[in-house]
Structure 1
């Protein structure tokens, strides 16, 4: 008998009344792995994530979490299995950073209960892991975009779900904070054994994870379907990138400190 996948999407389809968003999609993911969902705006990435999160319901197919259909899980049960890091989050009320991260423990404590000392310790450990512990008493509304993303990752860690879903978590960030977010995803997968699904416009992200010896899959999404699905080295190529983005590219091997090589995509011109 094969190993049961942590998350499995089988022949999934979704459409509104007259608009098909995606059709007959399948994917799978286990602990300690990353899946990069790559495609342009409007291809259906976010809707697929919403279905995996249980926010939207499939028209056909099924989504299994540890072998259980997501439709049979209560919201509280889903929250213990899956957590979400949004593309961008800006708080309205000036909660302290630590308070925001402690909110990730609400699935265990309830929203109207005071967090225990254990919950606070877990939140502090999460802040330390992403390097934001020195900001624990700072109002959340005063953080930069990059700092906000790191706090949201810390909150997801405090939630302690097996699966973390990220919707373009670096899209508004500068180069430094983008790299810090990617480094923290590597930590979550390698050190904590999390399964991560990340929707992104940056195909180089897939190579970043593969370069760190993480079991990485890529689903290239266009017009509501996958044009290719597999390992980055197999599917992130110049032909597929031209199909996906209408951009001519060159994939090169870059030698780093005479120790190892890493793949990178160089955009050349629109096609």
Structure 2
């Protein structure tokens, strides 16, 4: 079974072709990480999946259904989105923001019912924000805000959550908290995630945690490699993409294998 299937997708901004012949699949209970330098097309690909851009060619399917044939509320029932940035405007409570994740399931002139409120509460519990559920979300930290956005996505009850650089602008503690939460939700809730990231160690972090994860590497609008992070993220591939020398390290900790990537400082490259 496949949750998301992209087949030979191409997209152009006017005469400029941005995405070329992209094909990938996201399975249930899997994390799919999109990597690549700025401007390679990662966010544009996500926007295509979310229906914000008409395709030049190819198709996108959710399960067995082509996404272009689905109504917006049908797409929202299967795919949720967590943006990279969110501008806090009115002082809604954390609970009210999360409850907005149920908007797609209510009628135009209806309000959320008891079941919707219970779903929102459960989503808040899952991300560990019960103690601040009634706090204005304009008064919370950046790390807490990202958890609120994830809870809002969870409230949609979608099986696939798409995230655009979910840990950007977060400190080390909150970054690890988000990565741990994604890993936990994949295992405990059977959810799937598709996310973009600039941190090459993120997919390795998931792999080190024993979570099913694949990585797709993009370059100039093409998907040039897909597979298990520790196999795909070789020194040669990384140096080709980013024009910088790196060291890839593998080892064993507590009886389990692990991997990570480290950039080589400029003053040491001559000696390598």
Equivalent in the alignment of 1:166: 163
- Determine the C-alpha separation between the residues in 2 that align with 1:242 and 1:114: 53
- Asked if 1:263 is matched to 2:255, the reply is no
Whether the 8 Å CA contact 1:254–1:264 is kept in 2: the answer is no
- Determine the C-alpha separation between the residues in 2 that align with 1:174 and 1:111: 39
TM superposition outliers: structure 1 runs of 4+ over 4 Å: none
Task: Please report how far the alpha carbon of residue 114 of structure 1 lies from its aligned counterpart in structure 2 after TM superposition.
Answer: 2.4
Task: Please report how far the alpha carbon of residue 110 of structure 1 lies from its aligned counterpart in structure 2 after TM superposition.
Answer: 3.5
Task: Please report how far the alpha carbon of residue 64 of structure 1 lies from its aligned counterpart in structure 2 after TM superposition.
Answer: 0.8
Whether the 8 Å CA contact 1:38–1:200 is kept in 2: the answer is yes
Count of matched residue pairs: 267
TM-score computed with the length of structure 1 as normaliser:
0.94
Equivalent in the alignment of 1:185: 182
Whether the 8 Å CA contact 1:90–1:141 is kept in 2: the answer is no
Instruction: For structure 2, list consecutive stretches of 5 or more residues without a partner in the other structure.
Output: none
Instruction: For structure 1, list consecutive stretches of 5 or more residues without a partner in the other structure.
Output: none
Q: 2:101 aligns with which of 93, 104, 112?
A: 104
- Determine the C-alpha separation between the residues in 1 that align with 2:250 and 2:121: 39
**3-state secondary structure, aligned to 2:245:** strand
- Pairwise mapping of residues 127-146 of structure 1 onto structure 2 (< 5 A)? 127-146=124-143
- Determine the C-alpha separation between the residues in 1 that align with 2:249 and 2:231: 14
TM-score computed with the length of structure 2 as normaliser:
0.94
Whether the 8 Å CA contact 1:88–1:172 is kept in 2: the answer is no
Task: Please report how far the alpha carbon of residue 214 of structure 1 lies from its aligned counterpart in structure 2 after TM superposition.
Answer: 1.8
The root-mean-square deviation of aligned C-alpha atoms, in Å, is 1.4
- Determine the C-alpha separation between the residues in 2 that align with 1:114 and 1:74: 20
Q: Decide whether aligned partners of structure 1 residues 152 and 265 sit closer, same or farther in structure 2, where only a CA change above 3 A counts.
A: same
